[in-house]
């Protein structure tokens, strides 16, 4: 038990640190290679913040712990919207000005509905997984097209400021890219082992561990990037990172894990966690699209998100221990 706890306490911060170095190195290398800032942001930064989720889920699925893989992906989606955007909006209301973000939010909603429909039979089969990966390929193609076409968008300016702020030579960035990837793999394996051992010791399901400890932990890069972005007034970047991460989690993380090991979805997970994820995404859509007003997430809405996440977390703990 002591070793398992240490594995989590050491593995999680190393995972987050290495993910930051990996994403930063990849973005800087691409920038040095002449790739447009918007394309770097949408593909590398926007999706790259999900690197912890995908590596953790790959190891979990490979070891037969599908509960951690699925709980990590969907739990991170819930945490990204309710906890991260909620806390960010409490600090500073988030205004949505980017046309790209306004197009991405309906896409995220459609993807979430599709993923929710897939698990109605309480499983993620290999066919389901490959269909998710097929949609991911389409999403990547769509992102590349937007990255090449939308250079005048507000989001492009914010990504450009972030990428150009990095310092160092391309050799340094390549070293950080490789180092970050290696440590990311090693710390993910350590974290999954520790989480499984702790779950076994306390007699709780690995799904609960995936939805709580691992989901919150692997979502910390999104929290850090969103808080930093909103502090700089880069509101579209704050919400764009979360949207990109949730798309990646739903399509790539679950898709890759499902091709490795088909996953069984419990009735509790379906009617509790999937419903919460879907409801959170619908709320995000309503607030940020705006319809007849400026799309935004104000402090009241942010507070409601955080309160909803606190209630949801208490619900999970009650199920596990009470």
φ/ψ of residue 15, rounded to 5? -60, -45
User: What's the confidence (pLDDT) of residue 320?
Assistant: 72
Instruction: Give the tokens for residue 100.
Output: 């790209």
User: Which of 122, 83, 322, 82 shows the shortest CA–CA distance to 208?
Assistant: 322
φ/ψ of residue 296, rounded to 5? -160, 165
pLDDT digit string, tens, across residues 2-30? 787 787 788 778 776 776 676 666 667 66
- In the DSSP assignment, the letter for residue 15 is H
User: Which of 29, 1, 8, 47 shows the shortest CA–CA distance to 244?
Assistant: 47
User: What's the confidence (pLDDT) of residue 245?
Assistant: 84
Q: What is the pLDDT along the chain (322 residues), one digit of tens a residue?
A: 778 778 778 877 877 677 667 666 666 766 666 656 556 666 666 666 677 778 788 888 888 887 888 888 999 899 999 998 998 889 888 877 767 677 888 999 999 999 999 999 999 999 999 999 999 999 888 877 766 665 565 555 555 655 555 566 677 777 777 787 777 777 777 777 777 787 777 777 878 888 887 887 777 777 777 776 767 676 677 787 788 889 988 998 899 999 998 988 889 999 999 999 999 999 999 888 866 666 678 889 999 999 999 999 999 888 776 6
**Cβ–Cβ < 8 Å for 109, 248:** no
Q: Express the helix, strand and coil content of the chain in percent, nearest 5 each.
A: 85, 0, 15
User: What's the confidence (pLDDT) of residue 276?
Assistant: 96
For 199, what's the count of Cα atoms within 13 Å in the CB-facing half-sphere?
20
Pairing of strands 296-297, 94-95: antiparallel
Instruction: Give the tokens for residue 141.
Output: 């193609």
């Amino acid at each position: 038990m002591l070793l398992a706890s240490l594995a989590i306490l050491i593995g999680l911060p190393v995972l987050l640190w290495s993910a930051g170095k990996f994403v930063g190195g990849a973005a800087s290398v691409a920038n040095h290679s002449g790739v447009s800032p918007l394309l770097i942001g949408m593909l590398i930064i926007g999706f790259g913040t999900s690197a912890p989720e995908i590596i953790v889920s790959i190891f979990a699925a490979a070891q037969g712990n599908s509960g951690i893989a699925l709980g990590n992906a969907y739990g991170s989606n819930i945490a990204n919207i309710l906890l991260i955007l909620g806390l960010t909006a409490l600090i500073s209301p988030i205004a949505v000005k980017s046309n790209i973000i306004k197009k991405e939010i309906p896409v995220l909603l459609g993807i979430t509905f599709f993923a929710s429909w897939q698990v109605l039979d309480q499983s993620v089969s290999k066919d389901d997984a490959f269909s998710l990966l097929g949609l991911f390929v389409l999403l990547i193609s769509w992102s590349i097209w937007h990255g090449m076409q939308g250079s005048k968008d507000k989001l492009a300016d914010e990504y450009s400021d972030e990428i150009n702020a990095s310092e160092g030579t391309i050799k340094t960035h390549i070293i950080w890219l490789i180092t970050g990837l290696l440590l990311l793999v090693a710390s993910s394996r350590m974290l999954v082992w520790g989480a499984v051992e702790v779950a076994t010791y306390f007699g709780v399901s690995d799904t609960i561990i995936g939805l709580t400890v691992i989901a919150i932990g692997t979502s910390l890069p999104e929290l850090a990037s969103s808080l930093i972005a909103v502090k700089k007034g880069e509101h579209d970047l704050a919400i764009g990172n979360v949207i990109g991460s949730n798309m990646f989690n739903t399509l790539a993380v679950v898709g890759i894990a499902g091709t490795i090991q088909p996953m069984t979805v419990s009735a509790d997970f379906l009617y509790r966690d999937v419903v919460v994820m879907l409801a959170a995404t619908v709320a995000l859509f309503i607030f940020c699209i705006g319809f007849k007003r400026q799309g935004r997430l104000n402090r009241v809405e942010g507070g409601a998100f955080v309160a909803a996440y606190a209630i949801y977390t208490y619900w999970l703990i009650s199920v596990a221990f009470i």
